[in-house]
Amino acid sequence: MINDPNSAIAAQLSITIDGQQTSFIEGETIYQVSKRLEKDIPTLCYDDRLDAFGGCRLCVVEVEGIRNPVASCTTQANDGMVVKTSPPHIEKMRKTLLEMVASENRQIDVDPLRGLASQELSTLVNKYGARSGRFAGKKSGTTNLQDLNPFILRDYEQCISCYRCVRVCAEQEGDYAITVANRGFETQITTEFGNDLRDSDCTFCGQCVQTCPTGALADKKAIRHVELPEEIKKTRTVCPYCAVGCSIDLMTKGDKIVGAQPAMDGPANKGALCIKGQFTYDFIQHEDRLKKPLMKQPDGSFKEVEWNEALNAAAKGFADARAKYGRHSIFGIASGRAPHEAAYTMQKFIRAGFGTHHIDNCSRA
């Protein structure tokens, strides 16, 4: 990490931000240093996993000796610099910028199920009281309803051209599936040849959705549940698919799972997910799930039974095998998909129960 202000080199460089002197590391931006001091600088095009872009201009600050405000996200801190993050004229400029941004969008308030960052614009517009509508008029971005993919809504009328989606796809995913076409009010996020995402290099990892600050890109599976009345609750867990172990916030409304979002501070994934972690959680509450213990009947069919009956029968079967064939006639196969507690009790079931090591797992297949 370069963000270690306590290192020896850092101690030699200092910057004053809102009257507070602090040290920094060469290469750090004003925004990064300010963040460390918990300064509340607004941004829309910023995602700390991506290269600074300097597009939205909301993070402008006043630097002593420089006539015009500078974008703090792209301006490196200099030794002896004196910065004011939010003087009144800067705040006014931010409000105007937000009014202009807001004027282009069909709606400012979007459902939080759209995506992880989807509330950023509405939060700032509310904070700055930027709903004046005084720039209402021309709009940019055309919503693409032709793309029938079941995962990503491409509602570009809500797009503010921050390019976070394009940049996360390129810089974070290395997929370069989407790009920016045209300029000014004609700006449009698109794929090569304007194809549907399915026919592009898109892997449906959903990273564009989760970094979009306006909900222009939205999680189509999650927004099916917008009408459910309960509050969204997030539970931090780890993806159940491959062994990378990405941290996920599973979203629920009441007892219903309504979506998944990547955990930006997940130690293994740092905000990344793939299509499986992002979009395939809904096997959990699928109607094919087993609800009750099943016992096979003489005709080969299964009958639902109560737990006690099934557990007694299961135990009796193992006891009978032990009595008839000996303790080495029983084998256990543990799961590489279930948690530790399952694997641990499985091996103990065999070792403590029968005194053998007749236990294995699915790693050989």
The only residue of 76, 126, 179, 361 in contact with other proteins, by rule CB under 8 A: 361
Is residue 96 within 8 A of residue 88, CB to CB? The reply is: no
Determine if 1 is a binding residue for other proteins (CB under 8 A).
Answer: no
Of the pair 135, 241, the CB lying nearest other proteins is at 241
Q: What residues are paired with 236 via a beta bridge?
A: 249
- x/- binding map, residues 289-328, to other proteins, per CB under 8 A? xxxxxxxx-----x----x--xxxxxxxxxxxx--xx-xx
Of the pair 185, 331, the CB lying nearest other proteins is at 331
Smallest gap from Cβ 117 to other proteins, in A, equals 19
Q: Which residues of 88-106 are buried (b: 16+ CB within 10 A; e: fewer)?
A: eebeeebbebbbebbbbbe
Of the pair 82, 257, the CB lying nearest other proteins is at 257
Smallest gap from Cβ 152 to other proteins, in A, equals 10
Site residues (CB under 8 A) for other proteins, limited to 186-205:
198, 203-205
Of the pair 104, 249, the CB lying nearest other proteins is at 249
- Of 131, 70, 64, 145, residue with least CA distance to 102: 131
Q: Give the DSSP letter string of 259-324.
A: EEEE-TT-TTTTT---HHHHH-GGGTT-TTS--S-EEE-TTS-EEE--HHHHHHHHHHHHHHHHHH
Helix H or strand E segment including 125: helix 120-128
Q: Cα separation of 72 and 48, whole Å?
A: 13
Mapping DSSP onto H, E and C, the string for 52-110 reads CCCCCCCCEEEECCCCCCEECCCCECCCCCEEECCCHHHHHHHHHHHHHHHHCCCCCCC
The only residue of 149, 179, 187, 188 in contact with other proteins, by rule CB under 8 A: 149
Determine if 353 is a binding residue for other proteins (CB under 8 A).
Answer: yes
Site residues (CB under 8 A) for other proteins, limited to 158-187:
172-174
Of the pair 93, 310, the CB lying nearest other proteins is at 310
Q: Give the DSSP letter string of 199-221.
A: GTT-----HHHHH-SSSSEEETT
Smallest gap from Cβ 224 to other proteins, in A, equals 9
Of the pair 1, 137, the CB lying nearest other proteins is at 1
Segment near other proteins (CB under 8 A), from 8-16, 125-133, 184-192, 357-365? 357-365
Site residues (CB under 8 A) for other proteins, limited to 231-290:
233, 235-247, 250, 252, 255-257, 266-270, 272-277, 279-286, 288-290
Number of residues forming the site for other proteins (CB under 8 A): 113
Of the pair 93, 305, the CB lying nearest other proteins is at 305
Q: Which residues of 176-208 are buried (b: 16+ CB within 10 A; e: fewer)?
A: ebbeeeeeeeebbbbbeeeeebeebebebbbbb
Of the pair 69, 277, the CB lying nearest other proteins is at 277
Determine if 106 is a binding residue for other proteins (CB under 8 A).
Answer: no
